[in-house]
Structure 1
Amino acid sequence: MVQWRIEDNMDTFMERYQEPPEIFHLSPVCMLAGLDKEGDPIMLNRLGSFDAFGMHQQVGTDAMLDADYFLFELFSTRGNGMPSHLDWQQYHYEPMTGKRFAQFTVIVDLHGLSVRQFHPALFGLLKKSSYIGQYYYPGLAKRIVVVRAPKVFRMAWGIAKHFYDEQSLRLLKFVTNDDYLEALQEFVDLEVLPPVMNGKGKQMPGYMEKVKLEGGRISEQMQTQ
């Protein structure tokens, strides 16, 4: 990880990249403003509602991977070239908690997942994205709670699970549709969840406030913007 950051000059990535194009506001991934029960941040990925195939058609693989790097840097970096309006750690989390960020809880919401997200063109992208998370940004997630997985998920997971190492797989906790709120309550107060997950919570200030968590077809969302 350290060698990669040096070779790719990642300490200046945020300064160079700034923010993804506006279309990436339609990718429903963000940090929530509320915290888990241990006082750590909550990253929400509404993967089931994300039209990854539609995004891929609009911008291509390289742009999606650059947006991945942006999110990982946004979630993990404090200062170090980070524009002040994006630095949620210094200006929101630390004043609220009195401590430095270390790890976060990840909630992956698969509600709405369909075969459209399983297009063959996306598996290479998923493999690369999972590699980035595991080997370039290790240790950020302390748990990954996967909720509202439909039956079609089993087909995709049979392939996707081979993209993750044993350490990552040990972090995973799968929860059924019926008891997902009860299961999440072990780790978070339910009111910190956003309205799309039956809560009243908001998103972390800055870029993450711009993210549209409702999801849906990219082409249709672009027409309504």
Structure 2
Amino acid sequence: MSEVEVLPGRVGNLTPEQQHALDEFKQLIQAEGIFVEGRHDDHLLLRFLRARKFHIGHTHKMFVDCENWRKELGVDTLRETFVFEEEDAVRSCYPRYYHNVDKKGRPIYIEHVGVIDIKTLFKVTDEERMTKQHVLSYEVLITDRMPACSRKAGHHIEQCCTILDLKGVSLRQFANAFGFIKRTSAIAQNYYPEMMGKMYVINAPMMFTSVWGMVKPLLDEVTVKKIVILGSNYQSTLLEDIAAENLPKSIGGTCECSNHGGCQKGEPGPWKDPEFANPTKA
């Protein structure tokens, strides 16, 4: 296996100043009694440090805010206490799923935004339950999906490749969904920083320029640079980063997941492979 380049600011590629900041930050939260062995590994601490440009004070505030939020929502016990029985009904009006990995070994997350039906969505569930399900999905990503991807890739994976499909979206539809999208974006940025490696927005209509003007201010400049906006001729660009067999046929790949009940329901990937899945999570 060829050696993988470790990006700056990660474990294995820290400047002396960054290493000092990591050590100082870890000592600080240990002294305050908020450090959790296992969950707060160096990879996680560095994600928060990178999000705040290694400024100890700013990182500390972000980190403490996150830990307080986790306690208020009961994040650490969600897997045991929360059951999302309406999953199938929600997927029918808000299709979103993980589907294998890109060429860098990162899990691929897909949302078909153009067919979101917010009115129906909140008839079968409510915002509080959707928020908990959204958070639980992040937790499973961290504890199950990414470790399995890391085992398969042979190196640490901590970011996703996201595809947002806007086929069929309208301004009215987006306006109806904007509030929920804004809140979920805030959760990602504030509590799960530095987890988006790349985002492809495909089938973007002409009017998306004005919508992008609304969304852009919600994102930091580092995140904005990771986003690629594409129209209907997006397939060749996606296939540069994703093998055709790992991409659903509905968006330009060759996968139909016949053995998994369909791409959305099956959610194939290393996390479903006994060779790479964590035995304790099986």
Q: 2:214 aligns with which of 159, 163, 176?
A: 159
Do the aligned partners of 1:20 and 1:67 also contact (CA within 8 Å) in 2? no
Structure 2 CA distance for partners of 1:60 and 1:74, relative to 1, 3 Å: same
- Structure with more contact order per residue of length (Cα contacts < 8 Å, sep ≥ 6): 1
The amino acid of 1:183's aligned partner reads T
Structure 2 CA distance for partners of 1:111 and 1:159, relative to 1, 3 Å: same
Equivalents in 2 of 1:97, 1:128: separation in Å?
32
Q: 2:158 aligns with which of 91, 96, 102?
A: 102
Do the aligned partners of 1:103 and 1:141 also contact (CA within 8 Å) in 2? yes
Give matches, 1:115-194, under 5 Å.
115-120=171-176, 122-178=177-233, 180-194=234-248
Equivalents in 2 of 1:123, 1:175: separation in Å?
20
What TM-score do you get using the length of structure 1 for normalisation? 0.74
**Higher mean Cα deviation, 165-174 or 63-72?**
63-72
Please state how far the C-alpha of 1:15 moved relative to its aligned partner. Answer: 1.6
1:196 aligns with 2:250: yes
What TM-score do you get using the length of structure 2 for normalisation? 0.61
Do the aligned partners of 2:166 and 2:205 also contact (CA within 8 Å) in 1? yes
1:72 aligns with 2:138: yes
Identity %: 28
Q: How many pairs are equivalent?
A: 197
Please state how far the C-alpha of 1:89 moved relative to its aligned partner. Answer: 4.9
The amino acid of 1:126's aligned partner reads I
Equivalents in 2 of 1:115, 1:53: separation in Å?
15
Structure 2 CA distance for partners of 1:7 and 1:133, relative to 1, 3 Å: same
1:4 aligns with 2:4: no
Please state how far the C-alpha of 1:46 moved relative to its aligned partner. Answer: 1.7
Equivalents in 1 of 2:218, 2:77: separation in Å?
28
Q: Match of 1:32, SS?
A: strand
Unaligned runs of 5+ in 1: 79-86, 213-225
Q: 1:28 aligns with which of 95, 98, 109?
A: 95
Q: What is the CA deviation profile of residues 106-144 of structure 1, one whole-angstrom value per residue up to 9, with x for unaligned ones?
A: 111111212342344x33222211100111111111111
Equivalents in 2 of 1:54, 1:160: separation in Å?
24
Q: Match of 1:184, SS?
A: helix
Equivalents in 2 of 1:190, 1:53: separation in Å?
34
Equivalents in 1 of 2:264, 2:229: separation in Å?
27
Unaligned runs of 5+ in 2: 1-65, 268-282
Please state how far the C-alpha of 1:95 moved relative to its aligned partner. Answer: 5.5
Tell me what 2:84 maps to.
19
Do the aligned partners of 1:29 and 1:211 also contact (CA within 8 Å) in 2? no
Q: What is the CA deviation profile of residues 20-73 of structure 1, one whole-angstrom value per residue up to 9, with x for unaligned ones?
A: 52312322111112x211122111122123223431344332233223223222
The amino acid of 2:180's aligned partner reads L
Larger Rg: 2
Do the aligned partners of 1:25 and 1:211 also contact (CA within 8 Å) in 2? no
Give matches, 1:43-82, under 5 Å.
43-75=109-141, 77-78=142-143
